[in-house]
Amino acid sequence: MKITDIKVIPVNKFLYVKVFTNEGITGIGESGAWGFLDASAEVVQSFKTYLMGKDPLQIEHHWQYMYRSFHFRGAAIMGALSAIDIALWDIAGKYFGVPTYVLLGGKCRDKVRTYYHVSGETTEELVANCVKAKEMGYNAIGHLSPFLDEPRSKPYFLPYAKMINEAVDRVRMIREAVGDGVDLCLELHRRMKPGEAIAFGHAVEKYHPFFLEDPIPPDNFDSMALIANRINVPIATGERIHTSQEFEMLLSRNAMSYARTSVCICGGITGTRKIAAIAEAHGVQIVPHNPLSPVSTAACLQIAVATENCAIQELPNHETISATERYTSSNNIQENDFKQSDLVTWVPKAENGFIDIPVKPGIGIDLVDGIETKYPYQRRVINTRLNIDGSIVDQ
C-alpha cells in the first residue's frame, strides 16, 4: 500500500487532512493549531513532498522523519504533523479492519468518562448551565471559568480581593447547586499570576475542584511547579505545549497532576501515546484536550480507550460552532445555525456522562462530501481582551 495523495481540507474554522492510498483506503486527521491554521496547512504541503509514495503503515518512522526533519517546533508545525499522524492511524485501522485502539494495545475500558463544556457570561447563567449539564446526565463539567466567560470586547477591571472572592463564591454556588456527585473542572484560562493562583487555590480548596486548569500562561515551567507545590488542588496543564520533552520537564518538576494532551497538536496519536507513557511513570493521568471538531473527538476516544492512565475526556458541544470560536469571539453568545455535526458522518455522544467505545475500523469517522464549498474556510481574527487601562488580559 502506498500514499497517492494528501489533501488539505479547510472548512469553516477547522483544518482537516485527508490521506489517500492506492488501495482506496483513506484516512482523516485534524490540525489543532486553531489560531494559525493557514500556516499549518502550508506545513502539510511540505510534509506531503516526503510522504508521497510511502507506505502509510510505517507510522512511527514517518512520525520521526517529519518531527526531526528540520528540528523546528511550534504549533503550526506540530498541528500539521498531528493531523497527518491521525490520518495514518485511521488508515491502519481500516486496513486491518479494526478500531485504531486495537492496534494501540486494545481496550483498557468499556466506556469513556467525559466532561461537558459549560459557560456563562453572568453568575446566574453559569450556575444554570451547570445544573443543566447535571440534568443531561453528566457527572463532570469543565471549561468552567469561575471568572466568567465575558466577551473579549469588554474591558476588564476588578480589584484583587473582589476578583478572588467573587470567583471562589461562584464555585461555592455551583457546588451547592450540583452537589458532590458532579466533578468541577475549573478552567482559569491562563489569566493569573503565580501568587494570585496560589491564593485562589487555597481559597477554593474546600469546594474540592477536580482540578485547576492552566492558572498561568504555559511559558514558565518553574512557575507552574511553584503553584502546584504550594496548593492542595490538582493542577491540569499542557494543552499549549507540543512535545514529550516539555511534558517531561513539567512532570519532573511535579508541576501537574493531570496532563492535558492535545492530540491534534502534540504529535497526534503517536505523540500523545509517548506523553501518556511518561505521565504514567510519574503517576499522572492524562485528560485529552479537545476543543475542536468531532474528528478530534474521534481521535481522542481511540487514545482514551487504549490508555490505562486516562482520567476523563473533554467533550465539547458539537451541535454548534467550535468551542474555540465561542470562547474567543468578541461576543461569546453570538452564535449561528452552524452545526459541526453537519461536517461528519458520525458524532460521539455521551449517555450518563460516558461514551460507549467506538467499533468502526480506524477512528470511525469521515467528512461529508462537499463541506469545503458549503462551509467555506474563515481565517481567525486576532481578538485579545484588554484591561480597562489598555493593557493585555490573558483570557
Mean of pLDDT values over 152-167: 96
Amino acid making up residue 210: F
Per-residue pLDDT tens over the stretch 46-59: 999 999 999 999 99
> What does the mean pLDDT of the chain come to?
96
Q: What is the pLDDT of residue 251?
A: 98
What span, in angstroms and rounded, lies between the C-alpha atoms of 79 and 74? 8
What span, in angstroms and rounded, lies between the C-alpha atoms of 28 and 75? 19
Q: What is the pLDDT of residue 332?
A: 47
395 pLDDT band, cuts 50/70/90, is confident
Distance of alpha carbon 233 from the chain centroid:
21
Per-residue pLDDT tens over the stretch 283-326: 999 999 999 999 999 999 999 999 999 999 999 999 999 888 88
pLDDT of 333 strictly over 50? no
What span, in angstroms and rounded, lies between the C-alpha atoms of 355 and 219? 34
Q: What are phi and psi of 282, to 5 degrees?
A: -95, 5
pLDDT of 331 strictly over 70? no
pLDDT of 371 strictly over 50? yes
Q: What are the structural domains of the chain?
A: 3-102 (3.30.390.10), 105-361 (3.20.20.120)
What span, in angstroms and rounded, lies between the C-alpha atoms of 121 and 123? 7
Distances (CA, A) of 93 to 27, 167, 261, 280: 9, 45, 22, 25
Q: Where are the beta strands (DSSP E) in 118-178?
A: 140-144
